[in-house]
Structure 1
């Protein structure tokens, strides 16, 4: 080979090497996405300053990634919140306002996050609750609704993973009650299985409950996906800490219930309108709770029961934390941890006695504030936190940017990637949320739509009458204002104070201007 030809071959080889290393397509194939939903998870985590919560694995992930300390859900109930974040659209655009609304029926042409990522070469897989319960939406996934084999039985196909108990006595009772319920109404939430005790602490291995079995399936699935040339997008939805608080006994044993503090704000906010609170009908389905009253009544739960429920919630959170630790260890063993974007989020908060209530379904911040933690390859500022305002609807465009794919131009959220690079930079001026209060659960028996805006200083709400047929609001019925700095637990509605009339006026205008006017100036 001549010297000239040898030099030419060397230059060609160098060029091909540089080109292959810089190829966007090659980079995208190397970056997987693990998209982890934890149902009903409020920021009850060590990484969020909760000194009681025992969550070492999520805390470790936070120490390697970014923790968003001021993230808000668009709606404080499962179906609307998940429809919003999975489409990148806000509730008045998805028109999914409460549990019974199904986004795919409302708009069959909706493109969800996994659908979109599939267009860019991602293999999409779903385990557990990503959309709402028995709504796996096969259109969104190449492998929809993977389930542990032991839970795939006739009569269980529309059953939710949260409804399984260990006790055979409870299982027999559930079946009897379900038969009775289905005779009265054949189509029911959770297919009629959501009956039984509100907690269980069985002395069993993690895999005996659904979330544990699902984690083992996720590990096997990741092992299979790791051998593929295609990147994967796995949606993994944990059911705990959703009711019932059923978790292995060892996680209950982590806590002394007497050392778990009760709610700091056990009363409905002072001066609250009569329609702001939900009826706690979710808890009322469970054994021994069918008598509980509306939060805006004279009803008060006993301290003993409050402690058991709060204990069960914390135990359930620690259970999911341990499962995630197991999953992450497996990802490291099979060599995909460093090549995977991991995002963990809660779909809305949950009241543990706050506002005289248990559950979600209000516009108060105890129900709107959620955890969101992200870790990704070659991340800057590992272990950082930001207190700038973010929203769940931001996840879709953010994951697009992190994966190096085009962000759809119709997104109604904002990519938070610039915020990861500079956690203290000015960001959104407000977060926007809403809640549809239906007549059967409001204290006054009427229908409302409440709109919420959170700034760093204030939380302001407007409640309107609502026409459910047209999906339009009517007359303004009431307002609420909370000083987030001086009243973080939202104990007193101060919207009627004269000295704050200009604040109310300005916030009302900002709420009317909507989310577009609150977006940051991208630098």
Structure 2
């Protein structure tokens, strides 16, 4: 296997903070539960288990049947850097905190105990494989005992194998937005990551140490590179563009849309105009191939977990860091307040938990931190802003919030199962525009009814909900990020 040696940060096991809890567990003879944390990049809820029956995702489907699959889970900010900073800090995004891809916990929420750090301080080995926390060095040494990144042919994070793409991967408009080669799974980064993770599981089994093992699966992030056998799962003749591909923007604020610059880096993608239908169909097929490729890596890891008997004492989490547009609303990528961009897969399997299958209530990624603490028997740190979902997972909840608040730049959105409402304000908090969707008759979000007289009371109530739930530090100013280096440099290898 072409796997580089992981870098190791070894310190004595830290039992500060909650040593009494761990001591009590030891006295009772209880074995600490492990955590296997699988985080997928740009994965929307287009999975077989979420109702997309044309998708080939047997391994995530199996996990969904064994654990609790949250049908309405939302990231708190739809871009990898900020979504992961919020998720792993347990903090909501604010007016300037966790703004975009360059978000960092250390700079924007200094002193915050991260999720892996908290487990490390309570006696766990914490391992980060591939892209987990987005910033290359963000909270790194205090969070992880081991950090590892895959290596390949590319000089950037784009992970090409073909010579033609490799020769132009640093040139805007040079490389293809996808690659289909007849290669083994571990020729690409995610296959290498699966191999490394299985090695870790075997090593951890022998050591007997409790672990928090976080695994970053890069696909289906652009470019859509996957072995040919996964492309072959999807007949191009059966692929269609989304219903909202030819979208009428009348009645929508301009702020609701963006130029999807991320995908415009690639060959055959127009610099400014819409992506043609023919090219869109290729991209959709490539995205689906990458989802199935990612699913196969999940399958290998889960099979090894079971083979070693670790599944009996390991909490498994699988989530996509945010959703993605594949031509929906004539948009691509993330970076918006539409549902398709913010709703993402979330599956949690807790050993011996009786409840299994779909959970329809709305949850947020900020809820993951406290949930994992409760799942393994740790007190929930006071700084976290979410709620433990264990009450939903055990079926004992009577008063779950059943809503989510997400933020993308100047827009803040309230989601529940009935409404999606976004309000855009300037930096001083002054109203700029809004949009409202009534999901009972518009689940695809095609008609903005925010200004309809009959919805005036609904809008007023949802505005109050946003103010009440957006977070106590929402207006707090944080330091700006330094200007990032140009694309293709070392700084962008972890996009």
Match of 1:105 among 107, 115, 121: 107
Structure 1: which 5+ residue stretches go unaligned? 1-21, 182-193, 294-298, 437-448, 467-472, 518-523
**Cα RMSD (Å):** 2.2
Whose relative contact order is higher, 1 or 2, with alpha carbons under 8 Å and at least 6 apart?
A: 2
- Please say if 1:210 is aligned against 2:211: no
Query: Could you say which residue in structure 2 is the equivalent of 1:130?
Result: 132
Max radius of gyration: which structure? 1
What is the DSSP-based 3-state SS (H/G/I as helix, E as strand, rest coil) of the residue aligned with 2:360? strand
What is the alpha-carbon distance in structure 2 between the residues aligned to residue 94 and residue 481 of structure 1? 24
The reply on whether 1:274 has 2:235 as its aligned counterpart is no
Task: Label 1:478 to 1:94 Cα distance change in 2 as closer, same or farther (>3 A).
Answer: closer
**Counterpart in the other structure of 1:302:** 276
Aligned to 2:378: 405
Corresponding residue for 2:433?
478
Shift of 1:306: 1.0
* Pair 1:396–1:460, CA change in 2 (3 A): same
1:62 corresponds, among 61, 64, 72, to 64
Q: Does 1:421 align with 2:376?
A: no
Counterpart secondary structure, 2:345 = strand
Q: Name the structure 2 match of 1:462.
A: 423
Q: Supply the distance in 2 between the matched residues of 1:173 and 1:429 (Cα, whole angstroms).
A: 47
Q: Given the superposition, is the C-alpha separation of residues 406 and 28 from structure 1 closer, same or farther in structure 2, using an over 3 Å criterion?
A: farther
Q: Give the match's secondary structure for 2:94.
A: helix
Cα deviation for residue 139 of structure 1 reads: 2.4
CA contact (8 A) 1:52 1:260 kept: no
Q: Name the CA distance, whole Å, in 2 between partners of 1:301 and 1:292.
A: 9
CA-CA distance at 1:424 after TM superposition? 8.1
Corresponding residue number in structure 2 for 1:392: 365
- SS at the partner of 1:227? helix
Distance 2:136 2:226 in 1: 21
Measured against aligned partners, the alpha-carbon deviations of 1:107-136 in whole angstroms (never above 9, x if no partner) come to 332211000111111110000111116346
The 2-side partners of 1:55 and 1:109 are apart by 39
Mapped partners of 1:338, 1:93: distance in 2? 42
Does structure 2 retain, via aligned residues, the 8 Å contact 1:136–1:144? no
1:281 alignment partner, SS class: coil
Q: State which of 34, 40, 43 in structure 1 corresponds to 2:42.
A: 40
Distance 1:463 1:133, change over 3 A: same
Q: Contact conserved, 1:388 with 1:426, CA < 8 A, in 2?
A: no
Deviations 1:386-412 (A, max 9, x none): 110100010000000000001012211
Correspondent of 2:444 among 461, 467, 489 = 489
CA contact (8 A) 2:82 2:98 kept: yes
Q: Shift of the alpha carbon at 1:426?
A: 4.7
> What CA distance in whole angstroms lies between the structure 2 residues aligned with 1:61 and 1:120?
27
Name the CA distance, whole Å, in 1 between partners of 2:314 and 2:221.
27
Counterpart CA distance in 1 for 2:461 and 2:108 is 35
Residue 442 (structure 1) aligns with: none
Number of the residue aligned with 2:347:
373
Give the distance between the partners of 1:54 and 1:201, measured in 2 at CA: 17
1:204 and 1:367 mapped to 2: Cα distance? 31
C-alpha distance in 2 between matches for 1:250 and 1:492: 40
Deviation sequence 1:441-467 (CA, Å, 0-9, x none): xxxxxxxx111111221111110112x
Three-state SS of the structure 2 residue aligned to 1:477 is strand
Q: State the alpha-carbon separation in 2 of the partners of residues 28 and 82 from structure 1.
A: 31
Is 2:212 the partner of 1:233?
Answer: yes
Unaligned runs of 5+ in 2: 1-22, 473-495
Q: Classify 1:269/1:305 alpha carbon distance in 2 versus 1 (closer, same or farther; 3 Å).
A: same
Q: Does 1:507 align with 2:480?
A: no
Distance 1:27 1:416 in 2: 26
Mapped to 1, the partners of 2:54 and 2:452 lie a distance apart of 37
Q: What pairs with 1:187-266 in structure 2 (closer than 5 Å)?
A: 196-266=175-245
Report the TM-score when normalising by structure 2. 0.86
SS in 1 for 2:444: coil
Q: Which residue of 1 aligns with 2:478?
A: none
TM-score by length of 1: 0.81
Question: For residues 342-361 of structure 1, what are the alpha-carbon distances to aligned partners after superposition, in whole Å with 9 as ceiling and x for unaligned?
Answer: 00001111001101111010
Normalized per residue, the structure richer in helix is: 1
Q: Hey, what's the Cα distance between the residues in 1 that align with 2:135 and 2:285?
A: 25
CA distance in 1, matches of 2:96, 2:435: 26
Distance (whole Å) between structure 2 residues aligned to residue 275 and residue 479 of structure 1: 9
User: How far apart, in 2, do the equivalents of 1:428 and 1:101 lie?
Assistant: 27
Structure-1 separation of matches of 2:382 and 2:372: 14
Pair 1:71–1:268, CA change in 2 (3 A): farther
Cα offset for 1:93? 8.4
8 Å Cα contact 2:68/2:348 also seen in 1: yes
Deviations 1:217-254 (A, max 9, x none): 11111111111232000110111000000000000000
How far apart in 1 are the matches of 2:316 and 2:326? Answer: 28
2:278 pairs with 1:322: no
Number of residue pairs the alignment of both structures matches: 448
Q: Is the partner of 2:367 in helix, strand or coil?
A: helix
Task: Name the CA distance, whole Å, in 2 between partners of 1:350 and 1:51.
Answer: 18
Distance 1:511 1:352, change over 3 A: same
Deviation of 1:425 after TM superposition, in Å, equals 5.0
